[in-house]
């Protein structure tokens, strides 16, 4: 009995334990399930909340972003250089469009084909947009189809009568003057954001703030009657007013095109600045492109980038003799040279174990300091470099801003190369002093040159005048921001700058820059012809010819830089090809800016006319001779005695101005006196000199290429046709 009771007791206890275990297990199972549910809910409601909300909002709302109208780019006088015109865009309300397709029994391929034809788009591209989904795989609520279409295309889309295809106003960037100031203005990408130039540099100011329109829809994408549609009005971009003067820019454009075409050059760059403020008045690069159509078919992206590049800012080159301005400034500032110091140039000098040649291989003889600047003597400047030493020469190069970015407000600026003084060898010191070894950019060079014009004070070059907006209430332009980052610093003393300008004026009146001389104006400047470095070596027959000038020399109001890249190798000297371009540019600017002259009006007009060598027309029939004179822009008086020209006064070979009157004598036969005048050939290339002599019936004897530096028969002397003139040339000009 006791045993049975004990057995039953033990069984009851065991059953209780099992029940308790089962209860604990069941409770634990429910706890795990509850925990998983809470965890899942937390994951969905907290961690995935924003993602799911985004998908949900995308399903029950229709959102259209409304772009702000991009601000204008204006010149300093308010002339429009870049504007945004009204065009159209096409967006898709996908829910409505899907319902429309069901109602009309259309498939995606048919809709894509119809839209593609109306918009001149690839139907496959349209189909891809129609089939685009959200990241989670759900269908899109809205999509952008295309932008910046004209009214005709928009009307064609409307004619399809497809509900869900939304047509709204849009803006498109226009450049009214096409290629004008192309690389400076730059252009925008397909979304209207700045891609290059000013469009990129001041994209934030120009862009404005886009607006947005959001509406809540039902499952058929119809607006709900009791919900509030959100609409944020776009804020238009602000206008960017440049320092560019449209008229001066047109002069630069014309001069750059002339420099490139006349000299059969690879490229040309011209800059005009106000040295007193650092403002860029004009900047032209040729060749250029049309920002209205920047994506030229058939061109690789690399070639497109090259055509868009602002070479005045992004490209560097060895400056050649135009750098001598700064070597002279350094030596003068350090008191290492006086005006009457003597230099002897025999055509070359030995530096270390290397022979350094002057551009004039026959030498300049004994010169003073002013002469070595005027004659651009390499031997004289090698001596100046030696006096300065590497530390001082490099120090002044860096003071003038070389080897570092100027901070000009244009994208893609290059900083150039200036050797560290510790690495400058004896030969480097000589070559750096006359413009080799180191490299500069055009804008960097002109900023440094401006400091001489600005009495020794360097100013940062800039192209922004102000950022402004148009106030509709007052109908006025309100300034929001003006340029205030001049970086002003003194480089050399005012007295040194003034004295140096006087020396540079003699380069124009007496030296290698004579072809830039304008009667009645005081112009200071410097020429330079440098051999191009390609792949680390000097490339044969490839040069960069440059001229930098300032006017009026006593108180400069404008500075210019003319740079001609790879001109025709038969005539590449800067004194021959860059200075005439500069002269014409100065003439245009002087007239526009009303810069007064000391000379009479007649003298000024006369100085603007080109020099013409009277051609040999004796022996020609009268009609043929008169045509030749007319082509040379020469006037004439003629008798009517015969059919042939037998006499000309002045004689062929004389140099006269365009428009001059020539006296012609006629006869019944082609016989005439064989006397001609030997023209002035110094400064011409060998090819040009021989061609001129041949046209006059004279023989030219010359054994080497280069620029004519001497002729054995002096200019103006009478000789008989067939006489020989021996020419001396130098292989490199300045």
Which residues is 468 bridged to in the sheet? 239, 479
Pairwise CA distance, residues 721 & 705, whole Å: 24
Find the catalytic residue in 62, 142, 321, 685: 321
Cα 69 to Cα 172, 236, 450, distances in angstroms: 9, 5, 38
For residues 458 and 487, is the Cβ–Cβ distance under 8 A? yes
Cα 53 to Cα 22, 46, 63, distances in angstroms: 42, 11, 15
Pairwise CA distance, residues 655 & 278, whole Å: 41
Cα 192 to Cα 147, 189, 198, 200, 543, distances in angstroms: 10, 5, 13, 11, 39
Cα 492 to Cα 326, 661, 688, distances in angstroms: 10, 50, 42
Pairwise CA distance, residues 276 & 559, whole Å: 10
Cα 126 to Cα 139, 158, 437, 509, distances in angstroms: 16, 16, 56, 68
Q: What is the DSSP letter of 192?
A: S
The candidate with the shortest Cα–Cα distance to 547, out of 521, 567, 566, 524, is 524
Cα 498 vs. chain centroid, distance in angstroms?
A: 31
Pairwise CA distance, residues 333 & 396, whole Å: 10
Measured at the alpha carbon of residue 50, what is the angle toward residues 47 and 55, in degrees to the nearest 5?
125
Question: ω into residue 287 within 30 of 0, thus cis?
Answer: yes
The region that residue 398 occupies, defined by phi over 0 for left and psi between -120 and 50 for alpha, beta otherwise, is: alpha
CA dihedral sign of residues 612, 614, 615, 620:
positive
Cα 537 to Cα 378, 475, 532, 562, distances in angstroms: 20, 59, 8, 24
Tokens standing for 333?
């500032």
Pairing of strands 239-242, 73-74: parallel
For residues 461 and 488, is the Cβ–Cβ distance under 8 A? no
Sequence-separated (6 or more) residues with CB below 8 Å from residue 544:
317, 318, 320, 529, 530, 532, 563, 564, 565, 566
The candidate with the shortest Cα–Cα distance to 175, out of 145, 161, 196, 205, is 196
The candidate with the shortest Cα–Cα distance to 64, out of 96, 32, 42, is 96
Tokens standing for 309?
């590049």
Please indicate whether residue 321 is annotated as part of the active site: yes
Question: ω into residue 396 within 30 of 0, thus cis?
Answer: no
Q: Directed axis angle between helix 324-333 and helix 494-509, to 10°? A: 140
Pairwise CA distance, residues 680 & 691, whole Å: 13
DSSP 639-678: --S-SEEEEEESPTT-EEETT-EEEEEEESSS----EEEP
Pairwise CA distance, residues 546 & 441, whole Å: 12
For residues 587 and 272, is the Cβ–Cβ distance under 8 A? no
Residues designated catalytic: 321
């Amino acid at each position: 009995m006791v045993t049975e009771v004990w057995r039953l007791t033990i069984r009851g206890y065991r059953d209780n334990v099992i029940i308790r275990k089962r209860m604990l297990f069941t409770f634990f199972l429910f706890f795990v399930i509850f925990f998983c549910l809470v965890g899942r809910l937390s994951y969905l409601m907290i961690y995935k909340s924003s993602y799911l909300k985004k998908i949900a909002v995308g399903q029950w709302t229709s959102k259209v972003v409304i772009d702000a109208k991009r601000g204008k780019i204006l010149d300093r006088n308010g002339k429009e250089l870049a504007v945004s015109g009204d065009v159209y865009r096409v967006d898709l309300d996908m829910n409505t469009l899907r319902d429309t397709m069901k109602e009309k029994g259309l498939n995606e391929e048919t809709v894509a084909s119809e839209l593609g034809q109306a918009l001149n788009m690839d139907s496959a591209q349209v189909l891809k947009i129609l089939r685009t989904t959200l990241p989670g795989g759900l269908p899109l609520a809205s999509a952008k189809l295309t932008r910046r279409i004209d009214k005709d295309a928009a009307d064609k889309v409307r004619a399809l009568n497809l509900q869900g295809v939304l047509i709204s106003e849009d803006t498109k960037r226009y450049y009214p003057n096409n290629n004008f100031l192309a690389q400076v203005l730059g252009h925008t990408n397909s979304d209207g954001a700045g891609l290059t130039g000013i469009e990129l540099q001041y994209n934030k100011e120009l862009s404005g703030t886009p607006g947005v329109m959001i509406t809540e829809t039902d499952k058929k994408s119809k607006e709900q009657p009791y919900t509030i549609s959100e609409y944020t009005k776009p804020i238009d971009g602000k206008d960017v007013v440049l320092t560019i003067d449209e008229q001066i820019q047109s002069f630069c454009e014309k001069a750059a095109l002339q420099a490139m075409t006349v000299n059969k050059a690879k490229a040309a760059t011209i800059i005009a600045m106000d040295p007193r403020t650092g403002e860029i008045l004009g900047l032209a690069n040729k060749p250029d492109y049309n920002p209205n159509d920047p994506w030229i078919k058939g061109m690789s992206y690399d070639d497109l980038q090259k055509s868009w590049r602002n070479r005045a800012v992004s490209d560097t080159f060895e400056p050649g003799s135009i750098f001598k301005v700064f070597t002279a400034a350094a030596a003068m500032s350090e008191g290492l040279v006086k005006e009457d110091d003597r230099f002897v140039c025999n055509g070359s000098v030995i530096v270390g174990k290397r022979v350094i040649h002057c551009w004039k291989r026959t030498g300049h003889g004994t010169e003073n300091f002013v002469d070595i600047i005027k004659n651009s003597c390499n031997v004289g400047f090698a001596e100046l470099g030696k006096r300065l030493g590497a530390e001082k020469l490099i120090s002044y190069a860096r003071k003038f801003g070389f080897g570092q970015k100027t901070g000009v407000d244009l994208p893609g600026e290059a900083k150039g190369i200036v050797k560290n003084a510790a690495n400058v060898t004896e030969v480097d010191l000589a070559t750096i002093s006359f413009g080799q070894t180191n490299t500069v950019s055009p804008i960097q060079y002109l900023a440094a040159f401006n400091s001489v014009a600005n009495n020794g004070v360097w100013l940062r070059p800039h192209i922004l005048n102000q950022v402004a907006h148009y106030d509709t209430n007052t109908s006025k332009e309100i300034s929001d921001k003006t340029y205030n980052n001049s970086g002003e610093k003194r480089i050399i003393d005012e007295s040194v700058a003034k004295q140096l300008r006087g020396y540079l004026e003699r380069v124009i009146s007496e030296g290698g820059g004579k072809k830039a001389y304008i009667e009645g104006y005081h112009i200071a400047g410097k020429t330079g012809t440098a051999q191009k470095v390609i792949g680390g070596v000097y490339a044969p027959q490839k040069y960069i010819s440059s001229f930098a000038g300032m006017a009026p020399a006593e108180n400069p109001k404008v500075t210019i830089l003319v740079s001609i890249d790879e001109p025709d190798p038969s005539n590449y000297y800067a004194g021959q090809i860059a200075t005439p371009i500069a002269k014409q540019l100065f003439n245009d600017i002087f007239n526009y800016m009303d810069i007064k002259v000391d000379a009479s009006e007649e003298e000024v007009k006369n100085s603007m006319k080109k020099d013409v060598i009277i051609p040999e027309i004796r022996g020609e029939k009268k009609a043929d001779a008169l045509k030749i004179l007319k082509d040379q822009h020469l006037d004439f008086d003629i008798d009517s005695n015969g059919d042939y020209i037998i006499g000309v006064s002045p004689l062929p070979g004389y140099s006269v101005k365009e428009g001059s009157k020539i006296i012609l004598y006629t006869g019944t036969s082609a016989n005439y006196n064989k006397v001609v005048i030997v023209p002035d050939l110094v400064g011409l290339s060998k090819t040009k000199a021989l061609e001129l002599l041949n046209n006059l019936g004279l023989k030219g004897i010359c054994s080497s290429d280069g620029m004519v530096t001497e002729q054995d028969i002096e200019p103006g002397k009478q000789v008989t046709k067939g006489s020989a003139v021996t020419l001396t040339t130098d292989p490199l000009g300045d």
